[in-house]
Amino acid sequence: MAQASTALASAGRWSSAKREHARALFTELANLPANSPRHKVVRDELVEMHMPLVKHLARRYRERGESQEDLAQVGMLGLIKAVDRFEVARGLEFSTFATPTILGEIKRHFRDHAWAVHVPRRLQERNIAINHAIESLTRELSRPPTIAELAKGTKLSDAEVMEAMDAGRAYTAASIDAAAEANGDGDSPYDRIGGDDQELETLELRESFRPLLAALPERERRIVMLRFFKNQSQSQIAEQLGISQMHVSRLLATSLAQIRAGMSDY
Amino acid sequence: MRTENVHSHPQPSDVTLSFRAATANVALARTMAAAMAARTHLTIDQIEDVRLAIDEAVSQLINDCDEQTHVHCDFTETAGTLVIQTRATTRSGLPPATDTFSWLVLAALVDEVTAGADNGLVHLELRINRPASVTV
């Protein structure tokens, strides 16, 4: 419990009025039909109110080599689940209730994304530094950096940057199954992107790759759609989904390989 | 997206890679393509796209090749453009169709993709331009 109250304290130092407001919203949510428009409004407000808690918990893992954005994103899944399951009548603080669920999602992310092969500590640390440099240089240059620019920004040689990025690829994307499990309950923020399936209808492609596309987990399917049917860059997709560009790249490679494997019509 | 016979390079390729048409060898082409993309000072987004594109191009050729055939990849950098030409003598001897998902993927990943066939020798050429804002 001490853990959770610390989290709340640094996540916001809420006024008693704000705490009351949250309790009132939870009470209202419990009495609303799940499919009513008001239910969605209240649920969204509660999720938004508690986002600082997710960011706070994600920061605990900042030395572990995953981007903070990726961690906050998986933590959000935990937050949404907690909002849906919280029973205000039980008298628990929401942060106390939600913390284990959010941490559970973050830990599962680490479990699913473990380094697939043994990668020396030195390379893992370089990978963290490079990920930070990618984020800041992309903002600064308004485009993704080159290897040479990354080398300059991290005081590493071109070869060292390439080596560390290769090692980063050993940091595997979640297994297709795990991703499906995480996204399959319809709670995922990715579900809200929606709307671009129409693009598919206008394309007259020879093969029936639609079933193969449909077989991908929700998030991977979105990424494939955005990259190849909306022509967005990997960086743009990364920003839109709140994950790192390297993560988008890994997911794209896995998805294309899966589609290719299922395609008989080459 | 043009489909025509690929013109010969105005200059010899910087690097040529040749390997037996086996899926296990695709990784070699991918690694070489990424290294050449870095050397051309492409952005990391483009480098990742080049990796995916050569995967797609080479896999497409290999699927239409007998195992003992060799796939050749020529890598050339000309004035900020990386040109990758892949070629192999395939069973069908036909250039890849352009109404496939695979072609759509290639077209989205690189600035220009062209394909052609000449006496059973099928070639696919990918061109990727360095952004003007990159100073070398």
pLDDT for residue A121: 74
Chain centre distance of CA B13: 13
Which tokens sit at A49?
């109110």
A233 phi and psi angles, rounded to 5 deg: -80, 165
The upper half-sphere exposure of residue A105, i.e. CA atoms within 13 Å in the direction of its Cβ, equals 25
CB A259 to CB B45 under 8 A?
Answer: no
By Cβ distance, the residue of B34, B56, B136 closest to A256 is B56
pLDDT band at B30 (very low <50, low <70, confident <90, very high): very high
d(CA A248, CA A237): 7
Decide if B51 touches A, using CB distance below 8 A.
Answer: yes
Q: Which H or E run includes A91? A: none
Q: Are A165 and A249 in contact (CB under 8 A)?
A: no
Judged by CB atoms within 8 Å, which residues 70-99 of B form the interface with A? 96-97, 99
pLDDT for residue A203: 57
CB A209 to CB B42 under 8 A?
Answer: no
d(CA B116, CA B94): 8
| Beta-carbon pairs below 8 A across chains A and B | 81
Alpha helices of A191-244 — where are they, by DSSP H? 197-202, 210-214, 218-228, 234-241
Decide if B121 touches A, using CB distance below 8 A.
Answer: no
- From chain A, which residues contact B within 8 Å (Cβ)? 134, 141, 143-150, 158, 162, 165, 203-207, 209, 227-228, 231, 233-235, 245, 249, 252-253, 256-257, 259-260, 263, 265-266
CA separation, residue A165 to residues A93, A168, A200, B97, B119 (Å): 43, 5, 33, 34, 41
Q: Are A171 and A118 in contact (CB under 8 A)?
A: no
- CA distance, residue A170 to nearest chain B CA (Å): 14
d(CA B54, CA A12): 49
- Chain A environment of B108 (Cβ under 8 Å): 227-228, 231
CB B41 to CB A260 under 8 A?
Answer: no
Q: Are A174 and A182 in contact (CB under 8 A)?
A: yes
d(CA B83, CA B68): 26
pLDDT for residue A250: 85
CB A234 to CB B45 under 8 A?
Answer: yes
Q: What's the whole-model pTM score?
A: 0.63
Tens of pLDDT, residue by residue over B92-134, are 999 998 888 889 899 999 999 999 999 999 999 999 999 999 9
d(CA A201, CA A182): 28
B10 phi and psi angles, rounded to 5 deg: -70, -20
d(CA B106, CA B55): 10
Which tokens sit at A34?
């799940």
**Of the candidates A120, A110, A223, the residue with the CA atom closest to the CA atom of residue A166:** A120
Alpha helices of chain A — where are they, by DSSP H? 2-11, 16-31, 37-49, 51-59, 68-85, 94-112, 121-141, 147-154, 158-169, 176-183, 197-202, 210-214, 218-228, 234-241, 245-262
Sign of CA dihedral A185, A188, A192, A197: negative
- CA distance, residue B107 to nearest chain A CA (Å): 9
Tens of pLDDT, residue by residue over A124-181, are 788 888 888 988 898 899 899 999 999 999 999 999 998 888 777 666 443 333 333 3
CB A144 to CB B52 under 8 A?
Answer: no
**Of the candidates B90, B83, B38, the residue with the CA atom closest to the CA atom of residue A144:** B38
pLDDT tens track, chain A, 266 positions? 444 444 444 445 678 888 889 999 999 999 998 888 999 999 999 999 999 999 888 888 776 667 778 888 889 999 999 999 998 888 888 988 898 889 888 887 776 666 655 667 777 788 888 888 988 898 899 899 999 999 999 999 999 998 888 777 666 443 333 333 344 333 333 433 344 455 555 555 666 677 888 888 888 999 999 998 888 888 889 888 888 787 888 889 889 888 888 775 44
Q: Are A95 and A75 in contact (CB under 8 A)?
A: no
- Chain B environment of A147 (Cβ under 8 Å): 38, 41, 44, 47
Place of tokens 């696919």: B124
By Cβ distance, the residue of B47, B99, B136 closest to A206 is B99
Q: What is the DSSP string of A16-53?
A: HHHHHHHHHHHHHHHHS-TTSHHHHHHHHHHHHHTHHH
Strand order in the sheet with B2-3: B2-3, B112-118, B121-129, B81-89, B70-78, B15-20
Place of tokens 């993709």: B113
d(CA A111, CA A174): 9
Q: Are A148 and A158 in contact (CB under 8 A)?
A: yes
